[in-house]
Homo-oligomer: A and B are copies of this chain.
Amino acid sequence: MADKFVIGVDFGTESGRTVLVKVGDGEEVASHVHRYADGVIDEALPGGKRLPPDWALQNPADYIETLKQGIPSVLRQARVSADDVIGLATDFTACTMLPIDAQGNPLCFSEEFRDEPHAWVKLWKHHAAQPEADRINEVARQRNEPFLQRYGGKISSEWFFPKALQIIDEAPHIYNAAHKLIEAADWIVLFLTGEEKRNSCTAGYKAIWGKRFGYPSPDYFAAVHPRMRNIVAEKMSEDIYPQGARAGGLTARAAELTGLREGTAVAVGNVDAHVSVPATTVVEPWRLVMIMGTSTCDMVCGTELHTVEGMCGVVEDGILPGLYGYEAGQSCVGDHFAWFVENAVPPAYAAEASARGLNLHQYLEEKAARLHPGESGLIALDWWNGNRSVLVDVDLTGMLLGATLATKPEEIYRALIEATAFGARMIVDAFEASGVRIDDIVTCGGLPNRNRLLMQIYADVLGRELKIAASEQAAALGSAMHGAVAAGSQAGGYDTIQQAAARMARLSETRYRPNPAAKAVYDRLYAEYRTLHDYFGRGANDVMKRLKALRSEVLASGS
């Protein structure tokens, strides 16, 4: 019998990646990356209309083009027939949401609304809904809404209801015109299958939904804004499915677009970070997955519901069916190092790196790797982009301490890496202190295979062995695995994600093990980090917030 294949499509921030994967062993036989024509729309709409600050939109046409380019390409590259592709699944950034009409078309596709910013896709990093998030949180606190504690005490401005409320506030005619508001993760499935079957991951982590709790009540929503009372009934759906469920079969139109067969199984939508978990082999409770890229997402599943300080969320079925999925995160990891390399490394280093054929990250890593833990005398708070877990505070800012006239760039670079490792340890400690055991840590994402120094520092700071997923495109592989589950064993796939993971997911041979001497030094530095973390992060000295407020005041006055 011929090999069977599945396809995973990972819709990222700047591009969409398609992989073709062998069902039997998870081999990634072909991949294709489509760079979005409109990318992140943060200055002006394609029609020219300017956007206010903090906006970040996308064009759904870029998603369709990803399917149209990517799927035929991987089939062609691997000379695989559509007949041998048994399933397809997708994953998206989230919360990335849009208004659609009754036919499922994005409002921004229509002539009537194309110049309306609120008709477009609000990307995860659209940050203009902060006033709405503040109101949503304030009302929830006043009413003592129990959902707050499942989300670290705070609903992020990046999530679904703040973005929806911003439409109500600023463009009520768009809200009225919208048949539905929908996560792009669910919309792409609707586009492929004609079925609106929403997934529990985005519903749970981004829209305050819980399998045993449902959505917040109409009374709560009405207290936030009268027009919002029936938002769930009017604009959303309570028809929600766990990850890996079959949403439907590919429509004739989608089959034509992609070159796949009509009726090919399509899974419900996924989120990029969460869908990576089974692709790292993790399908059991108490194993932490750290997805390390520009930011880090921390995912662990457990068998009970615990309240953990500063979680992004805990959602039943949110990562793996039948388990509580806990999500935490660090908002600035790779971004941190990128900022440093772009803004704070002198020409002499750039010249020397270039002469040696290294990029600046490689050059700095080489120099920083020669330093011993504690040798720089530096310590940093890794809050260049706020603190997601465990403080859940976007108004915190970065700090570097210990600089002298002898401080060199590689010492600062190393201190920034160490700071993110201390931040990771805060999260692991918070999990364990709350009853969520961490028995094992597996990493994936862009950083683990690119930065050996970073991985060794994390192992030393965490005092744990770190494993690495074999796949460097864990999200796309994870989607493909869900495609295999949606297809089911009768079609040549699998019936559970555990079965799929046993065959399709692998770990790299590389392991990072803690060096006891380095760990001893890092234990002392971590104690310093905690003291500074709590001093600046828990209210003893709110200087960071006051400086941010002063900055806003100065910019607003223009004087």
Contact = CB atoms under 8 A, between A and B. Distances in A.
Interface of A: 332, 335-336, 339, 342-347, 350-351, 372-379, 384-385, 397-405, 407-409, 412, 517, 521, 524-525, 528, 531-532, 535-536, 541, 543-544, 546-548, 550-551, 553-555, 559
Given A543-B531, A551-B377, A384 B404 contact: yes
Contacts of A342: 346
B543 A377 contact: no
B385 A405 contact: yes
A376 B551 contact: yes
Contacts of A378: 547
Contact of A374 (B385, B400, B517, B550): B550
B401 A553 contact: no
State the 3 A-B residue pairs at the shortest beta-carbon distance, nearest first: A398-B403, A377-B551, A347-B347
B346 A402 contact: no
Contacts of A350: 346-347
Contacts of A351: 347
Nearest to A548: B377
B377 A403 contact: no
Most buried by B among A374, A517, A548: A374
Nearest to A546: B528
A332 B554 CA distance: 29
Contacts of A408: 343
Nearest to A379: B547
A398 B377 CA distance: 11
Contact of A409 (B344, B372, B532): B344
Given A524-B550, A543-B531, A554-B372, A335 B377 contact: no
A484 to B, nearest CB: 38
B403 A399 contact: yes
Contacts of A401: 397-400, 536, 543-544, 547
Contacts of A403: 384, 397-400
A352 to B, nearest CB: 11
A490 to B, nearest CB: 49
Nearest to A345: B346
Contacts of A546: 524, 528
Contacts of A547: 374, 377-379, 401-402, 525, 528
19 contacts: A336-B405, A339-B407, A342-B346, A343-B408, A343-B409, A344-B346, A345-B346, A347-B351, A375-B551, A376-B551, A384-B403, A385-B405, A400-B401, A401-B536, A401-B543, A524-B546, A528-B546, A531-B543, A532-B543
